[in-house]
Structure 1
């Protein structure tokens, strides 16, 4: 094979397709277009699920580009006569923000190897050559498969039948149109159009360049590849609609629409924050209070509870509180035990009721330990 470094990709792509084909063969004709077409669609879904973390990273990078737009505009105005310095400052700003203007192209770049591998697999099927895990039996089955009357490996330029050209042309138009709609909804609904920056110009350019590029290249794509790109574009469109509706960029048209929906539903606080509902409301304190306020209230309540806890008492203090005779002072009544006692020295008085006040005092203010056998210390005459 000419491109030997692509063999692992050929094997991986063909293996995924064959596994889904064996699954769909239980329902559809193994040699029909439904079994092979759905196998390609299922492969796209598997790839896009694996790319969800990259899609999340793309959203964060795009939001970072939105956040630095005012700084980008300031750099443009400051160095409008020095293009080189302007480019240097822009690259420095991108590095500090951890983003770049081409972050939105990441999903397409990552899918490029899979697209190339699928193109090679279908080209081998058209040229009657086995590839990857597709053996001669599977090769014959794939060659018989037709999608809406067009062979799986047929191309617009490589087919002489008018019906096949019409099917391929419709698929090319749908592929390009879905690409344009996806990029346009990102531009018109999820970006702050009040600030004109190079990032906005780049996104606007991509909105027109990508569809045209795919339309020109699509005339050489096999039907199976067109199915691949049409499926991935539809996936991107739906995925982006969900993100734009539930997590729009602040300041965009979609953000204003979301705030209006939340206000009508009564879920918007006066400060602009969203009220929690259900379990989230319970955890955050309920009543529409912000989570930060509820958390502060919980902390304050915990501190107050801790302050109300009684301190640990000594054995002598517990005996005094219960009215029992204190050790070292048998026979004294409760009044004598409660009377204030002072040391023989001229220092500070010992608080009444403390363990120290219950011990006999000797010379120089030192306490004498009681002797063994229960004998009391001798009193000083």
Structure 2
């Protein structure tokens, strides 16, 4: 049913591999591993507009949160009416609680398509093609070597092999650990940048809280993921961490700890020679007013009109 999706993903890999083969050997792990990494980077570049839309949706939800809390308090005994009023508030203000999930929803088909393509490559018999990949390309991908491991290798498969290939076990094991850690830190970083006031009003925040606890369990699923899928996951998570750090450090969400820290940083005067040069000159001090000298004039005593002697 999803063969059309697998055809698209495999065709993208073939095109990128063909371009990289002009620089590195076409049968090397650099060509096939680089194809997966570049596919991930191109996908994330295409998702930048959706990420920006996600940021705007999140901030819109933060702005509406006080009104949502007021509606919940007003209709706390009537959940149906409360939900109707909250949805009406969202519609009137052009907010969509699910728009924050768009980047994840777009990534999932590519993840599934890449997983199925690499799984078919690992299971393909000699002389068989896989979707848009010819038998020669399938054989090349199967034999591509990345530090002693092959792209279709899984940790459980390498562990259960007889004899065991320890290089494949180590490489896939390290990839599982890194993918689990990057998943956890990317979700945790997103949660830390959410204002505490959003609470349960933001469904995306609820999903992120759940993901913080689910992320460590990703390692259990990753044990059976092909190395190529783990490379995709690590690259995507690393991109997310860098992108989040840049966007939120430049434009911190209103009311968040990052915004408060940025405001405090901007408020502090910066030192150095440049700051001294740019410092505005202080206004000249006003001259102190001199105290007035009061002279005591001699008082004239009244005289008698006849004798001219002063009166007693």
**For this structure pair, what is the TM-score category when the shorter chain's length is used for normalisation?**
0.7 to 0.9
Cα contact 1:72–1:197 (8 A) shared by 2: no
Q: Once the two structures are superposed, what CA deviation does each residue of 1:19-74 show, in whole Å capped at 9, x if it has no partner?
A: 22233334433222221111100011111111111111111111111111111221
Aligned residue pairs, count: 262
User: Could you tell me how far apart the structure 2 residues matched to 1:264 and 1:203 are?
Assistant: 37
- Give the direction of change, closer, same or farther, for the CA distance of 1:10–1:262 in structure 2 (3 Å limit): same
Matched with 1:227 is 231
CA contact (8 A) 1:31 1:145 kept: yes
- Give the aligned partner of residue 79 of structure 2: 83
Shift of 1:192: 1.9
* Correspondence 1:6 to 2:3: yes
Q: Relative to 1, partners in 2 of residues 1:140 and 1:199: Cα closer, same or farther, differing over 3 Å?
A: same
- Aligned equivalents of 1:15, 1:193: Cα separation in 2: 44
Partner of 1:103: 99
C-alpha contact (below 8 Å) 2:9/2:114 kept by paired residues? yes
Question: Which of 208, 212, 216 does residue 208 from structure 1 map onto?
Answer: 212
Q: Which residue number corresponds to residue 247 of structure 1?
A: 251
- Residue 199 of structure 2 aligns to a residue whose secondary structure is coil
In structure 2, stretches of 5+ residues that fail to align are 271-279, 281-312
Change (3 A) 1:115 1:204: closer
Does the C-alpha gap of structure 1 residues 92 and 20 become closer, same or farther in structure 2, counting only changes over 3 Å? same
Shift of 1:194: 4.1
Q: Which residue of the partner structure matches residue 198 of structure 1?
A: 201
Q: Which has the larger radius of gyration?
A: 1
CA contact (8 A) 1:101 1:202 kept: no
* Superposition deviation, residue 210 in structure 1: 4.7
The 1-side partners of 2:115 and 2:222 are apart by: 12
Q: Label 1:85 to 1:209 Cα distance change in 2 as closer, same or farther (>3 A).
A: farther
Distance in 1 (alpha carbons) for counterparts of 2:165 and 2:85: 55
State the structure with bigger RCO (CA 8 A, min sep 6), 1 or 2.
Answer: 2
Structure 1 residue 179, shift from structure 2 partner: 1.8
Superposition RMSD in Å:
2.4
Q: Is 1:133 matched up with 2:132? A: yes
Would the aligned equivalents of 1:156 and 1:168 in 2 still touch at CA under 8 Å?
yes
Query: Which runs of no fewer than 5 residues in structure 1 stay unpaired?
Result: 267-286, 288-381
The residue aligned with 1:321 is none
2:11 maps to 15
Tell me if structure 1 keeps the 8 A contact 2:90–2:96: yes
Partner in structure 2 of residue 260 of structure 1:
264
Residue 217 (str. 1) matches residue 221 (str. 2): yes
Q: Structure 1 pair 109/214, CA: closer, same or farther in 2 (3 Å)?
A: farther
TM-score, normalisation: structure 2: 0.76
Structure 1 residues 276-320: Cα deviation after superposition (integer angstroms, max 9, x where no partner): xxxxxxxxxxx9xxxxxxxxxxxxxxxxxxxxxxxxxxxxxxxxx
Q: Does 1:73 align with 2:69?
A: yes
Query: Residue 36 in 1 paired to residue 32 in 2?
Result: yes
| Shift in alpha-carbon separation, 1:179–1:93, aligned structure 2, 3 A | farther
- Following superposition, the deviation at residue 265 of structure 1 comes to 6.2
Moved more, 213-222 or 231-240: 213-222
- 1:60 maps onto 2:59 in alignment: no
- Equivalent residues of 2:184, 2:216 under 8 A apart: no
The Cα offsets for residues 231-278 of structure 1, whole Å up to 9 and x where unpaired, read as: 111111111111101111111111122223333467xxxxxxxxxxxx
